[in-house]
Structure 1
Amino acid sequence: MIFLPPSHKNQNFVWFLLASVLSLCHTPYTSAFHCRSPSSRHFPSRRLSPSPLGVVFPAGPSLAASTKDAFGLTAETVSETAYTRKTKRESKSVEGTGQGQKQKARRSLIRSNVLQKRPVVLRLVPQSSAKESLRKGDPWVFSDAIKRKINGPPGCLALLQDEAGKPLALGLYDSSSPLAFRMLSLYNSPQRRNRLLNRRQRQEETEEWHKSEPNEVSSSLIASRLERALDLRERLFGVSSHLMLRPPSLSPSPSRSLEEVSSEREREGVSVTTGYRLVNGEGDGLPGLVIDRYGPYAVVRLDGAGPAGFYDGGGIGQFLVDRLHGLDAVFLKGGVTEGAGREEGEGASRKSVSLLASSSSCPSKDVEVLLKHPIEFYENGMVMHSDPLRGQKTGAFLDQRENRQIIRKIAAGGKRVLNLFAYNGGFSVAAGQGGASHVTSVDSSKGAIEASRAVWERNGLSPGRHLPVVGDALEFLKSSTEFNERVEAMLQKEDLGGVPGGGDVKVKKKEWEVVVVDPPSFACSRASLMGAEKKYKELFEMAARVTASGGCLALSSCSSHLRLERFMEICESAVSSAGRTGKVIEVRQQAGDHPFPLSSFAMRYLKFVLIELD
């Protein structure tokens, strides 16, 4: 034992020794110390705590801090603990008042039952390829790659480990879905984050990582990623697009055309595209969450029971209304059973729509009143319609926006255009605005054809230039091909009897200079891919037969299971089987407001190929 005479300096020295021992042992007593010494620069990933004498000492890593560092969330969340404490103080200070309830709802982006439970622990099967895919950024893990199924409510948080028990990622879990795990954050090991930490500290951080509270990890993470997604759209479409002026009422007078209205808006600095995707799920780091904006309204869609059980729709809706200028209301497309978190509850309609949030300027709180008529929005100067209440997905297909612009350009010069699987006539209106002499729209749905007729006339286009047809696209192509074959046979025999129009065969022959084929997804699963490829080939071959010489054939697929390389092979085979040759003008995928992870092939779902046939 060393005896030191009582003095002020010696007392400070004793405190210094005691604090050093406690800090090395990581005991709770270190929380009373304050660190303000130059030595803190040697411990960049560790908190520094004050001592009673103002001497600086590094404290042991806290559970919340180590968890955030492990997920790599520190930069995104910007002091998440401080955010959580501030939220609690604000809610508590106005508790019991309407303002307090609004304040609390605004920050509730995740369901409370998810935050109250610790993550379930999942483990991959040995030698699973999902391990490497996750590290590359692929956010999906299917149920066959998980070693043992663990029961839990859809949308609960899950910690995914490799076969050796080492943590890989944190994400959403749905035991009832083939797509069992959707990654929220990839685990960054303490070894890679800070090699200055000793072995004991790394081991403690790894052991404590999965014990973290979910709200400390995820509450502000969702808000920060929403902000990042909205910022991307502002850069893509311009801040002025958020003014979201409704499309003007077009005068029946030919003196006021839509082109003039669009030019006027451009001169005023107002964007003429007011319909686009705000959030594209995994592409924006928000698995299963899709949000489309149509002018003054936004529509949320949750992809499956897992996301429906994880996100708080009301909180997300209020977040959007508060954040985006000119947004009157946010709707949820698809029924969700409260508490169960399933997208389709018993008796729930797939087309059910509910109101999540609305602004003070919203004209009504009744969904039926707000959506009595289709929502109108601008797309590259054209007035388009979205019908969330009666239409598919969120009401319109925004992923083909830039491809419609291509059809608008190549239809110039009085081209005759055939639009198969027309839905609400997006490609048809684009061709009409581009200068097509005549457009034929074919769809099996009578409601879709009526919608295409309405949006055509809404854009001030002449009804005489548009022929809406209710019928099966393949049958329409077969009948047109058979008619053309009869015409060819009669031409060879120089016998024109029975052919409508007599000698004016070329006018009556059913051919089009531009043919657009945009079918639904034939391959809804991997098992159905082979049958889908046969359908695509047959459909594309028939479309090539009715495309005029020198005309353009636009072929598309929205199946995520069909790779682009294989799709190109199908297009080549179909054109060849039709006895035609051609050259590729454009090969495109979804637009920039539909981003996808770099390593995820499944989310590169849209394929669009434009071919000029000889």
Structure 2
Amino acid sequence: MSASSPAVVTLKPRRALPFFSQHPWVFAGAVRSVSGMPQVGEAVIVRSHEGQFIAHGLFHPTSNIQVRLYSWKEDQPLDDAFWIARVASAVGFRQKLFHGQPAERACRLIFSEADGLSGLIVDRVNDWLVVQWTSSALAQRQALILGELQKLLQPRGIWLRTERGIKELENLEVEDGLLTGENPPRSLEIVENGLKFLVDLKAGQKTGFYFDQRDNRALMKTYATSSSRVLDLYTYTGSFALAAARLGDCRNVTAVDSSQPAIDMGIANAELNGLADRIHFECGDCGEYLESQIAAGERYDIIVLDPPKLARTRSGLERAAKAYVRLNRLAMEALNPDGILITCSCSGHLNREDFEQIIARAALDSGRRVQILEQRGQAVDHPVSVHCVETSYLKCFVCRVA
């Protein structure tokens, strides 16, 4: 890091408004000039083309997000005290939110832009933390941030996971593995909504578990009954399926996922909770499974549709929309009259209004009359920043299909 005055990034005319409004991402196309030759991770000052101060940020010369902004106060530089305070604020919020509850030991501790730490995700899983960097610039502060996490939480270990493609996008030279402390066991046990789940930090998807759906899984207590026939698609390790079996007292639940290791963990979770006799697990393509069920005349009372991110870039939105329409149409066709469809999208590039239109198109294509009963989002440990709409990524619509 340079000890001299920070370099200055000057924006092009008519490009400063989003950043005055505290959006944290300055894309390369908005930059007119850069003074000096700042390196990856160096603190810079961002100014308008007229020279007005906008914010302090971290620079990355080759990333599409050339500057990530963190402080909009000119007298608040990005020193060690700044990062320590941000980490402490995020962790303290979760401790206050979940104090004494099981979620305190199974939650998202730091949610990137929403917590003013663009480029960093931290989850707590029992006595371990799992860290994911999406910014090479912020990752330069890893030792400082890990030290603060260690001080605040005393975890037994901190494990690093990397998101697919991010190393290439950010030129991030990291590998999955232990950062500090003890290696986590292959499966850690957490509690959610009164259910026990095994979590694999090392080989599980993303950071091991999807805490963002915690509150939506609890919906099974509202919509399911003991006689409901439930189909949980893209089940991963069985979280919605187990919620249906326990919270809804359902005796006939089918859970499908294309990953055999995920299915194996789901079976273990069902056995752990004494629900193995209520849930049938299938490994296979979820779209093809729906088609086969419709062809066989099988129908369900509740279908959960929670696919992985189908639109990873804006250029992929059109293709993703077609896939969402197909999946939702098939799910509607496979529901009994007055059935419940819980349909989700975690694609941040797809906004809530467009997802609602996808549901409407699927309803027309299926010939079913559909009512939206609830529009929901991510759990409270995944807060939404009003300055960065991209943090409102999870859409969960509860629909009645007549």
Q: What is the TM-score with the length of structure 1 in the denominator? A: 0.61
Post-superposition offset of 1:432 = 1.3
Give the secondary structure class of the aligned counterpart of 1:596.
Answer: coil
Which of 120, 134, 138 is 1:289 aligned to? 120
> Which residue of structure 2 lines up, in the alignment, with residue 421 of structure 1?
234
Q: Residue type matched to 1:144 in 2?
A: G
The reply to whether residue 138 of structure 1 matches residue 23 of structure 2 is yes
The reply to whether residue 455 of structure 1 matches residue 286 of structure 2 is no
Give the secondary structure class of the aligned counterpart of 1:377.
Answer: strand
Q: Residue deviations 1:22-53, cap 9 Å, x none?
A: xxxxxxxxxxxxxxxxxxxxxxxxxxxxxxxx
Which of 229, 235, 260 is 1:446 aligned to? 260
Which of 148, 154, 159 is 1:331 aligned to? 159
Which of 98, 112, 117 is 1:237 aligned to? 98
Task: Evaluate the alpha carbon distance shift between residue 542 and residue 149 of structure 1 in structure 2; reply closer, same or farther with a 3 A threshold.
Answer: farther
Post-superposition offset of 1:116 = 4.1
Give the secondary structure class of the aligned counterpart of 2:314.
Answer: coil
Q: Residue deviations 1:216-237, cap 9 Å, x none?
A: x421111112221122112211
Task: Evaluate the alpha carbon distance shift between residue 441 and residue 115 of structure 1 in structure 2; reply closer, same or farther with a 3 A threshold.
Answer: farther
Give the secondary structure class of the aligned counterpart of 1:180.
Answer: strand
Post-superposition offset of 1:384 = 1.6
Post-superposition offset of 1:273 = 5.8
Q: Residue deviations 1:72-101, cap 9 Å, x none?
A: xxxxxxxxxxxxxxxxxxxxxxxxxxxxxx
The reply to whether residue 119 of structure 1 matches residue 36 of structure 2 is no
Whether the 8 Å CA contact 1:386–1:395 is kept in 2: the answer is: yes
Which of 180, 183, 205 is 2:69 aligned to? 183
Give the secondary structure class of the aligned counterpart of 2:320.
Answer: helix
Q: What is the TM-score with the length of structure 2 in the denominator? A: 0.92
Which of 147, 155, 162 is 2:41 aligned to? 155
Q: Residue deviations 1:213-262, cap 9 Å, x none?
A: x6xx4211111122211221122112x24xxxxxxxxxxxxxxxxxxxxx
Whether the 8 Å CA contact 2:375–2:398 is kept in 1: the answer is: yes
Post-superposition offset of 1:342 = 6.2
Give the secondary structure class of the aligned counterpart of 1:460.
Answer: coil
Whether the 8 Å CA contact 1:516–1:554 is kept in 2: the answer is: yes
Q: Distance in 2 between matches of 1:186 and 1:344?
A: 26
> Which residue of structure 1 lines up, in the alignment, with residue 151 of structure 2?
322
> Which residue of structure 2 lines up, in the alignment, with residue 174 of structure 1?
60
Whether the 8 Å CA contact 2:233–2:257 is kept in 1: the answer is: yes
Give RMSD over aligned pairs. 2.3
Q: Which structure 2 residues correspond to residues 93-112 of structure 1 after superposition, within 5 A?
A: none
Q: Distance in 2 between matches of 1:341 and 1:590?
A: 26
Task: Evaluate the alpha carbon distance shift between residue 451 and residue 152 of structure 1 in structure 2; reply closer, same or farther with a 3 A threshold.
Answer: farther
Q: Distance in 2 between matches of 1:324 and 1:478?
A: 48
Q: Residue deviations 1:293-349, cap 9 Å, x none?
A: 11211111111323223x22x433332232226x322222239xxxx996753xx65
Q: Distance in 1 between matches of 2:34 and 2:264?
A: 47
Give the secondary structure class of the aligned counterpart of 1:528.
Answer: helix
> Which residue of structure 2 lines up, in the alignment, with residue 473 of structure 1?
286
* Higher-RCO chain (CA-CA 8 Å, sequence separation at least 6): 2
Q: Distance in 2 between matches of 1:429 and 1:447?
A: 17
Post-superposition offset of 1:409 = 3.4
Give the secondary structure class of the aligned counterpart of 1:176.
Answer: coil
The count of aligned residue pairs is 396
Give 5+ residue unaligned stretches, structure 2: none
The reply to whether residue 605 of structure 1 matches residue 393 of structure 2 is yes
Q: Distance in 1 between matches of 2:42 and 2:103?
A: 41
Give the secondary structure class of the aligned counterpart of 2:400.
Answer: strand
Whether the 8 Å CA contact 1:139–1:184 is kept in 2: the answer is: yes
Q: Distance in 2 between matches of 1:583 and 1:148?
A: 51
Task: Evaluate the alpha carbon distance shift between residue 533 and residue 147 of structure 1 in structure 2; reply closer, same or farther with a 3 A threshold.
Answer: same
> Which residue of structure 2 lines up, in the alignment, with residue 307 of structure 1?
138
> Which residue of structure 2 lines up, in the alignment, with residue 436 of structure 1?
250
Whether the 8 Å CA contact 2:88–2:148 is kept in 1: the answer is: no
Q: Distance in 2 between matches of 1:289 and 1:165?
A: 30
Whether the 8 Å CA contact 2:6–2:43 is kept in 1: the answer is: yes
Give the secondary structure class of the aligned counterpart of 2:336.
Answer: strand
Task: Evaluate the alpha carbon distance shift between residue 153 and residue 374 of structure 1 in structure 2; reply closer, same or farther with a 3 A threshold.
Answer: farther
Give the secondary structure class of the aligned counterpart of 1:544.
Answer: helix
> Which residue of structure 2 lines up, in the alignment, with residue 374 of structure 1?
187
Q: Distance in 1 between matches of 2:3 and 2:384?
A: 31
Q: Residue type matched to 2:157 in 1?
A: A
Q: Which structure 2 residues correspond to residues 540-551 of structure 1 after superposition, within 5 A?
A: 540-551=328-339
The reply to whether residue 164 of structure 1 matches residue 50 of structure 2 is yes
Q: Distance in 2 between matches of 1:527 and 1:170?
A: 30
Q: Distance in 2 between matches of 1:393 and 1:143?
A: 28
Q: Residue type matched to 1:324 in 2?
A: L
Who wins on radius of gyration, i.e. which is larger?
1
Post-superposition offset of 1:377 = 0.9
Task: Evaluate the alpha carbon distance shift between residue 341 and residue 578 of structure 1 in structure 2; reply closer, same or farther with a 3 A threshold.
Answer: closer
Post-superposition offset of 1:570 = 0.8
> Which residue of structure 1 lines up, in the alignment, with residue 87 of structure 2?
226
Task: Evaluate the alpha carbon distance shift between residue 554 and residue 228 of structure 1 in structure 2; reply closer, same or farther with a 3 A threshold.
Answer: same
Q: Residue deviations 1:483-530, cap 9 Å, x none?
A: 22xxxxxxxxxxxxxxxxxxxxxxxxx111110111111111111111
Give the secondary structure class of the aligned counterpart of 2:32.
Answer: coil
Post-superposition offset of 1:407 = 2.5
Q: Distance in 2 between matches of 1:545 and 1:511?
A: 8
Q: Distance in 2 between matches of 1:156 and 1:132?
A: 23
- The answer to which structure has the higher strand fraction is 2
The reply to whether residue 404 of structure 1 matches residue 217 of structure 2 is yes
Whether the 8 Å CA contact 1:154–1:342 is kept in 2: the answer is: no
Q: Residue type matched to 2:344 in 1?
A: S
Whether the 8 Å CA contact 1:296–1:328 is kept in 2: the answer is: yes
Give the secondary structure class of the aligned counterpart of 1:480.
Answer: helix
> Which residue of structure 2 lines up, in the alignment, with residue 82 of structure 1?
none
Q: Residue deviations 1:116-161, cap 9 Å, x none?
A: 4653321112211xx2212222112212111247864332212111
